[in-house]
Structure 1
């Protein structure tokens, strides 16, 4: 008789597959026990999809999810919807295999409204019954999403439904638009006091109730502010945000690239001196003008991750910032000049992950970084006109990398000159090094320039993967 793993072991194994929906779905089909364990993990968050409009939360949720939710509705809801001719007798006669809704830990109000609109012409009554079912059956929602950036999204006062208070008391993550009605934020501030992660998408309107919600929290740790539409005034909520200067450890601010007149008030950032991670994403350098002088003198004693995905403050500002704060940095992401690269080498000796650019004539700068940052594990960079070639990059890395290094990500924005010979030389040098990890190599091309040498390059990768020198490689266009 085959040995069956106990439930707790299966559950621990399947937890590692939480984001791998395909593998988890396969587990459903093995046997009854595997199905019972994996279905609970699959249904924690059913509102996963890709945005189909930039900056808008229009998710493509599978209609099968809606069909299952309808089956899970209590009989009184089904009969009510039958009377309204929204459901038919066949739909209300089905019964679920599991109480799927009770497994959910994420509630997305706008996603419910969207998926119903996609399938039904009349959605008002069905949306209400489904949300009532959620707040009644979910013992403890961990994440709530409530956006209003789709004109068809249903705006419901669902906090009045029976069970809503019990459902949301332990809410730890909230994602929302700032123009949701103030009544929603006022009511939520009376229910939830332990939101740790707050993700706000700013619209032209910032509801007054948002200040009350922010102030009522006891342990806010993660804050994300996104300006994706219109021009909003953040001034009124800054005092409320500053109340959490002692607890906040991660801050991300994203500015809209389409509104060049948008100047967010960024000086408040320097009040959060306990930050571990800071991400400031703006397309234009002038967006940092209000912050520049503060960056020169602020001290973040615990800062480990600093990212400027697009534009960044002037070099002299950042060099002074790195002089004050670079020693503790473990991850740095920036589109930098050579002078800033030299500052990275000088002031950031403990870096483990680095994204930066290297000019074509600055091999010596790369060597200095590799020599001075001995803890470096990962580098991400680009190849484009005026930047270091792939061949020069690989040759330098092979000669000067520390034993800790194991990952390279190369973004190719121009015709690639990467050939199998260059890869062979790199991996031959690599295999003779003392390293605790096998190599991970990721190449992303923005055109088809990689195709001419694709077959030969792939053979090299396969060869060294079999030898155990390469653990992961990926070439995508």
Structure 2
């Protein structure tokens, strides 16, 4: 009865919640459009919310541009015709004001999509037409009442495609139309050394005061102007909950001093940054009144000065994620984990020193009992025992595991065979009873794989990923996957691809995909199923 009411449209609130869950399942959303008017009205905005999303496979649906470029004035029509594009053929009758549904815009995917669409129309003047149409589309978005929720300004590529003049003109237009960004909640800004004019940053402290999530990416040397403008942006915010400092910029935390964010900020992410000049960490963290989580991922110069500032805090340092990719003094890590080990849910190790790896694993076992995600990038077979011991020790809380051979693309056949044997002959004994995610990226021997499957026969894995290093003489592991995974229905999602000598992706083998689907297993592209720690951290702290 309830199902019939949902399909008939008698339960609109419940129907809306169900369809909202399909946000990035575009095939399902297109099907929803055909059910009835209510479903159509709910699904259409979701399809248009993020039309240039990274989650969409290229080529994009280029009809988007033709819909937006309706009803141009004569000057714009003439300009398009000069480029060889005739907009008289574009769709003219539409049921909705589709552009008004756009909530997310990433300048990188947007400019790339524009360029690809233009290439389907003309073969000359590609760059000039891309610049003009990029600006024209932004203007049409504004005219159609677009009010963004998420805005990602990717400067390096965007600037290289449209140039300084059109980049500046675009942001001058946006500055003159504050409603376009007034409701932005998620702002991502990727800086570049190519920038000559950073006046565009004024938009974000004049027009946007309700940003809740701010990501700053800067692959450049120190720049006082950039830091000054970032400080003004942060201090203009009233509701900032998350801030992420990313890439190799020498950040200080001066931008947070005296800001409203001291009473609103709940999450701080340090991703791939240098800590060299962060001498104010203790001072600032003592003033953060509602901070719930800190993430340190693939950072550099996690030196005694930084560790001392952290361990001397009078407040808890709620470190949820820690990725170690450089040589650290064992005593330093021990003092950090004594302070924060109870909070850690993600540990990533990327080391090439098996003795250090052994010592760190022992310390982690002592202080970190709540690890949900363990990621190990192993270079030496001697590191495998501490890796397996650590998994066994924390498996009560463990739900995500990734083991990746750092030398995956080097020719080491005999070494790879031994590497595979050590992992696969022991891993099945130490896994938890149920896993959400298991990623294995190394040379897989069929005999060892069979042992692993037999040892782990009572373990259900929601998402299983295998990246198999292939040599000329390598055996096909697919028959073993079918025998132990497909027929026993031991996973929900499966991704398997080959690398090195041969590159075959199970996802591209349509007949095989159908066979697995008959057993209730969905085959996905490896890169789509792979969990990047950056995405994982941002997802858990939404």
Aligned equivalents of 2:308, 2:95: Cα separation in 1: 61
Residues 100 and 146, structure 2, Cα contact 8 Å, conserved in 1 = yes
| Alignment match of 1:201 (pick from 214, 217, 221) | 217
Indicate the SS of the match to 1:122. helix
Work out whether residues 66 and 90 of structure 2, in 8 Å CA contact, stay in contact via their aligned partners in 1: no
Partner SS state of residue 487, structure 2: helix
Match of 1:88? 86
In structure 1, the partner of 2:401 is: 379
Rate the CA distance shift 1:78–1:307 in 2: closer, same or farther, 3 A: farther
Cα shift at 1:446: 4.2
Q: Secondary structure at the match of 2:243?
A: strand
8 Å contact from structure 1 (residues 197, 220) kept in 2: yes
2:42 aligned residue: 37
Which aligned pairs between 1:166-185 and structure 2 lie closer than 5 A? 166-178=179-191, 179=195, 181-185=197-201
Q: 1:374 to 1:343 in 2, by over 3 A?
A: same
Counterparts of 1:419 and 1:303, CA distance in 2: 40
Aligned to 2:483: 459
Q: For residues 23-62 of structure 1, what are the structure 2 equivalents within 5 Å?
A: 23-29=28-34, 33-49=38-54
Residues 185 and 406 from structure 1, CA distance in 2 versus in 1: closer, same or farther, beyond 3 angstroms? Answer: closer
- 271-280 or 194-203, larger mean C-alpha shift: 271-280
Number of the residue aligned with 1:421: 450
Distance 1:438 1:48, change over 3 A: closer
Q: What displacement does 1:225 show?
A: 2.9
Q: Distance in 2 between matches of 1:173 and 1:199?
A: 8
- What are the equivalent positions in structure 2 for 1:114-125 lying under 5 Å apart? 114-118=112-116, 119=118, 121-122=128-129
- Structure 2 CA distance for aligned equivalents of residues 388 and 300 of structure 1: 47
Whether the 8 Å contact between 1:108 and 1:145 is mirrored in structure 2 is: yes
Using the alignment, how far apart are the partners of 1:401 and 1:111 within structure 2?
39
CA contact (8 A) 1:78 1:92 kept: no
Partners of 1:450 and 1:180 lie apart in 2 by: 53
SS at match of 1:476: strand
CA distance in structure 2 between the aligned counterparts of 1:169 and 1:330, rounded to whole angstroms: 35
More displaced stretch, 370-379 vs 107-116:
107-116
Structure 1 residues 264 and 92, CA gap change in structure 2 (3 angstroms): farther
Equivalents in 2 of 1:298, 1:450: separation in Å?
A: 54
Structure 2 residue ranges without an equivalent (≥5):
119-125, 352-356, 408-414, 499-542
Match 1:222 to one of 220, 231, 242: 242
RMSD: 3.9
Residue-by-residue CA offset, 1:361-393 (whole Å, 9 max, x unaligned): 764773465245532223222356599955554
> How far apart are 1:325 and its partner, in Å?
0.8
Question: More displaced, 137-146 or 214-223?
Answer: 137-146
CA distance in 2, matches of 1:365, 1:183: 49
For the residues of structure 1 that align with 2:327 and 2:417, how far apart are their CA atoms? 19
Tell me, yes or no, if the aligned pair for 1:376 and 1:404 is still in contact at 8 Å: no
Distance 1:96 1:361, change over 3 A: closer
Residue 373 of structure 2 aligns with which residue? 353
Distance 1:172 1:223 in 2: 12
Deviation for aligned residue 1:176: 1.8
1:243-392 equivalences in 2 (<5 Å): 243=259, 244-255=261-272, 265-269=277-281, 271-272=284-285, 274-282=291-299, 286=301, 288=303, 291-298=306-313, 301=316, 303=318, 305-308=320-323, 310-311=325-326, 313-335=328-350, 337-356=357-376, 360=382, 363=385, 366-367=388-389, 370-371=392-393, 374-383=396-405, 389-392=419-422
Instruction: Indicate the structure with greater helix content.
Output: 2
Secondary structure class of the residue paired with 2:237: coil
Closer, same or farther in 2 for the Cα pair 1:292/1:191, shift >3 Å?
same
Structure 2 match to 1:434? none
* Alpha-carbon distance in 1 for matches of 2:483, 2:50: 39
- 1:92, 1:322 → 2: CA distance? 61
- The 1-side partners of 2:296 and 2:417 are apart by 25
How far apart in 2 are the matches of 1:333 and 1:352? Answer: 11
Equivalent pair of 1:380/1:408 in contact (CA under 8 Å):
yes
| Gap change, CA 1:315 and 1:24, over 3 Å in 2 | farther
CA distance in 2, matches of 1:276, 1:425: 39
How far apart are residue 356 of structure 1 and its match? 3.1
Alignment of 1:129-168 (within 5 A): 129-138=136-145, 140-150=147-157, 151-153=160-162, 154-155=166-167, 156-158=169-171, 160=173, 164-168=177-181
Structure-2 residue corresponding to 1:20: 25
1:234 CA drift (Å): 4.0
Q: In the TM superposition, what whole-angstrom CA distance separates every residue of 1:60-82 from its partner, at most 9, and x where no partner exists?
A: 755433222213xxx3x343312
Q: Give distance in 1, aligned partners of 2:417 and 2:296.
A: 25
